[in-house]
Structures are given as structure tokens and as C-alpha cells.
Amino acid sequence: SQKIEQNSEALNIQEGKTATLTCNYTNYSPAYLQWYRQDPGRGPVFLLLIRENEKEKRKERLKVTFDTTLKQSLFHITASQPADSATYLCAPWDNYGQNFVFGPGTRLSVLP
């Protein structure tokens, strides 16, 4: 069956460090994958989209990689700030069902 795993339910890091979040998927061959940020009680907000023919995508302090062989995406936040504290969701595109499927999320806490 199809499955999406995100490395840990919660991740604590020190301000200024790089946060690395992992998304692994099985039984998917997504044409692209998205990352979203969600704050408590709010709807997810789009951050980045990476396609299967792209190895890496950057946006300001954010970087996403996509390894279709490993079936894994890594999401990096460099020079992390307390304001980056939130839950981050990965969402591979399900080519068969023609919709996004969301991972359970990783709750990131950046400590001052």
C-alpha cells in the first residue's frame, strides 16, 4: 500500500542552525512533490514544489531535494529562526489517484 513517512514527529534545533526534514514514500512514483507549512489551527501554506526531473530547488533560506531512486525528499531551512517553528508537511502527487497525498508532518521547534 502507499505510504508517506516524515522522519520524526517533532524536531528541536537551536536558532541559527540548519533544520533538515525528511520525507520518504513507498509505492508512489510522483511526478512532483510539494512542501507546506502549517501553523496551529491554520490551513497549510505552500512553500515549494519540485518535479521529478529536478534534483534541487531553492527559495530564500529553503532548499528541497528530490531523489526518485531513494524515494525521498529532504527539506532544509538554513539559518533557522524561532519564527520557522511550525509543522511541515510533504505532499507527493499521486499519479494514479490524480491528487496530493499528505504526510503526517514534522513539528519543528527552533529554540532561541
Partner 1 sequence: DADVTQTPRNRITKTGKRIMLECSQTKGHDRMYWYRQDPGLGLRLIYYSFDVKDINKGEISDGYSVSRQAQAKFSLSLESAIPNQTALYFCATESENTEAFFGQGTRLTVV
Q: Is 43 exposed, middle or buried (0-12, 13-18, 19+ CB in 10 A)?
A: exposed
Q: Residues 75, 23: contact at Cβ < 8 Å? A: yes
Helix (H, G, I), strand (E, B) or coil at 71: coil
User: Does the protein bind partner 1 through residue 106 (CB under 8 A)?
Assistant: no
Name residues contacting partner 1, limited to 14-33 (CB under 8 A): 31-32
Length of the chain: 112
Tell me how far, at minimum, the Cβ of 16 lies from partner 1, in Å: 29
Minimum separation from the CB atom of position 87 to partner 1 (A): 9
Which residues, numbered 43-102, are part of the site for partner 1 (CB under 8 A)?
43-46, 49, 89, 91, 93, 98-102
Residue whose C-alpha is closest to residue 19's, from 84, 94, 83: 84
Q: Are 63 and 111 in contact (CB under 8 A)?
A: no
Q: Which amino acid is at 8?
A: S
Q: Which is nearer to partner 1, 19 or 23 (CB)?
A: 23
Measured from the CB atom, is 14 or 27 closer to partner 1? Answer: 27
> Which of 34, 84, 88, 92 is close enough to bind partner 1 by CB under 8 A?
34
Q: Which residues bind partner 1 (CB under 8 A)?
A: 9, 31-32, 34, 36, 41-46, 49, 89, 91, 93, 98-105
